[in-house]
Amino acid sequence: MRKTTMAQVVEFAGQLNVTLQNISEDENTHGLTEAYNRLAQVMDELCIPMREEEEPISHEEACETAERLYRQLIEQAKDHTTIRLAQAMNRAWAELTVVEGLDRLARPQSKDE
């Protein structure tokens, strides 16, 4: 059975939350904290409950999921809830991908690059 976009958003936010709980303090979160905070704030505003029983998610998978969900929400944007979630997902996606770019810039460049 295919999940609704809203169910996928709730699942994704839960995955970000669990992932952050499992990261040690000295580990780089690669924008996961900022992405989660964007989603959690809007979900709280809209009274959408957070799920706690999700599996952790990798940074790469989080980027792909945020992009996919943003595009789905934009396609379905017809009311305040979907528009606000699309905005939050866009910002979450940006937080995840900008950090990825900054990480690349911070790495020493080899002569081949």
With H, G, I as helix, E, B as strand and everything else as coil, classify residue 104: helix
Any domain includes 40: yes
Q: Residue 29 falls within a domain, yes or no?
A: yes
Q: How far is CA 37 from CA 4, 10, 26, 89, in A?
A: 22, 13, 19, 11
93 is written with which tokens? Answer: 């996606």
- At 86 the pLDDT is 96
Half-sphere exposure in the Cβ direction for 63 (13 Å, CA): 13
User: Model-level pTM greater than 0.95?
Assistant: no
Looking at residue 29, its pLDDT comes to 75
What is the domain extent for residue 83? 5-105
CA 20 to chain centre: 11
Domain count within the chain: 1
- Distance in angstroms (rounded) separating the CA atoms of residues 103 and 97: 10
Q: What is the mean pLDDT of each run of 10 residues along the chain (113 residues)?
A: 88 93 77 91 94 88 95 94 95 84 59 56
Whether 67 is in a domain gets the answer yes
Q: Is residue 113 part of a domain?
A: no
